[in-house]
Amino acid sequence: MRVMRLVDHAEREHGDTDVVTAWADGSVTRTNWRSIAQDSRRLAQALEAIGMKKGDRIATLAMNHSRHLVAWYGAVGMGGVLHTINPRLFDDQLEYIANHAEDRVLLYDRVFTPIVERMKPKWTTIEHYICFDPAEGEQGFPQWIEGHGDNYSWVDGDEREPIGLCYTSGTTGNPKGVIYEHRSTMLHTMAEASPDIFNLSKRAVVLPIVPMFHANAWGVPWAAPMVGCKLVLSADYRPDKMCKLFRDEQVTHSAGVPTVWLTMIEHILRTGEELGDLQQVTIGGSAAPRAMIKWFLERGIEVGHAWGMTETSPIGTCGSRPLGWEEFSLEEKVDYIARQGRPPFGVELRTVDDEGNVLPRDGMTSGRLQCRGPWVIKRYFKAEEDATEDGQWFDTGDVAALHPDGTVQITDRSKDVIKSGGEWISSIELENAAVGCPGIKEAAAIGIVHPKWDERPLLVCVKVEGSDVCAVRVREHLTAHVAKWWLPDAIEFVDELPHTPTGKLSKRTLRDQFRDYRFADAEAMVGRD
């Protein structure tokens, strides 16, 4: 069970199916699964020709495009371990992960040349640098592989051999490396394509708005060749470019983090553009606001609300329609999808309290979310101890409630939960309620020290361009959606919120920005009823 069977299958059974790339310069190129497989064999030979061998780490610093896809299969096909580097990381993180991985080759996009030139003196193990898209007249990836034929036999071996390496974003301490294996990736791929997860088939046209350097683009570049669907890749995530690409390529399935979809929706509402043939979106990375879910449903677009992390390859759960879905009202559908769905076969979930006691699946009791499964991490790369507890349970760092029907509801990150008067306030639910207020583009809730209640919520909001929404209006909106004692003690407006390199809200940065913030007249405030 090795991943090269995926591209072999696509070449043999779906060779003429398009793989489309929208490049950052506005050009669009087309290839197909046959050519992807052939170029992957050429790349495998090119890597061997410069001395790469089984187990060597081959790094990429690139956005989504067909040459990056070739690098995935070519690097793995010669027995290498593909290390996808996030170009949004800070220099000290970039230095650490490349050296820690002991990368020997770096394949990179020309747009990232300034990063490469700046980091070369600090990357001590990289011997070869190859540009994916060299300037006209310069040598690079196309010229490097063209001298090799496509008659090549993939390196064979055990299904538990490593194929990929991806580092966490490193919000605390150094980033940690997560190893993916042939077996774990194949099992994850088969689960991903299933109807209750990404619902992929030969008939789908899939465009992942997830960078290929982030948790393997949520597995889409592996799943697409398995089902033989058309794959659309874009190196440019600007909403006007994306909307046009959706329509031109008749995209039916897509996936992205909430911040991407917020930008897309804002653009569509402002311009009147549409998304063409889109049938299903998967939203993950962080909790999707109710208003976003409702927006898609009102347009007849199915929503798969997913949860996962780098350590889960990344799929941990995904929303699926339950029995009797057609009888649900719109609000009932939104309520249901606002949870993060069910785990697919292979993933097990549980919640525990601080003493490690397993909590009931009653939909009300929140605790630390733990998971295990064949594509869930056991040990970080080069770590001396397992990352799991007894029974191979991995502590995700999330706080969640499990419902009797198996759906999971993420209430917070353990480090982000707001503890007021001994009770928990979900920053996620508060944020999602705030985004539902007209005129609010994005919101973040953090806990601020309070002399009576330990912590009380501060809500920090970004307005939609041109909106005159005010704190009073936001508070009035929240009153109808959250408990009275959850209402923020203050609402502040900023031009933008900080995000991590993977597009999530950076609560750590926000707390640093507001570390000296104090509520006015805190002693007189009304707290929990």
Residues classed as catalytic = 168, 311, 419, 424
How would DSSP label each residue in 406-465?
S-EEEEEETTT-EEETTEEE-HHHHHHHHHTSTTEEEEEEEEEEETTTEEEEEEEEEEPT
DSSP 1-41: --THHHHHHHHHHHTTSEEEEE-TTS-EEEEEHHHHHHHHH
Do residues 351 and 340 lie in contact, with contact meaning Cβ atoms separated by under 8 Å? no
Write the single-letter amino acid at 108.
Y
| CB contact set of 178 (below 8 Å; sequence gap of 6+) | 165, 166, 167, 168, 310, 311, 377, 380, 381
**C-alpha dist (Å) from residue 486 to 405, 441, 511:** 27, 20, 19
Enclosing H/E stretch for 179: strand 177-181
Q: How many Å is the Cα radius of gyration of the chain?
A: 23
* Helix, strand or coil, per DSSP, at residue 402: strand
C-alpha–C-alpha distance, residues 19 and 233, integer Å:
8
- Residue 118: phi, psi to the nearest 5? -70, -35
The structure tokens listed for 117 are 């030139």
| Termini Cα distance of the chain | 58
Contact in structure between 430 and 482 (CB atoms under 8 Å): yes
Structure tokens at 492: 């502040």
Please, which residues bridge with residue 22 across strands?
A: 28, 234
Q: Exposure string (b/e) for 453-489, b if CB count within 10 Å is 16 or more? A: bebbbbbbbbbeeeeebeeebbbebbeeebeebbbbb
Give the H/E segment covering residue 497. Answer: none
CA–CA dist 17, 201 (Å, integer): 13
Pairing of strands 81-84, 162-167: parallel
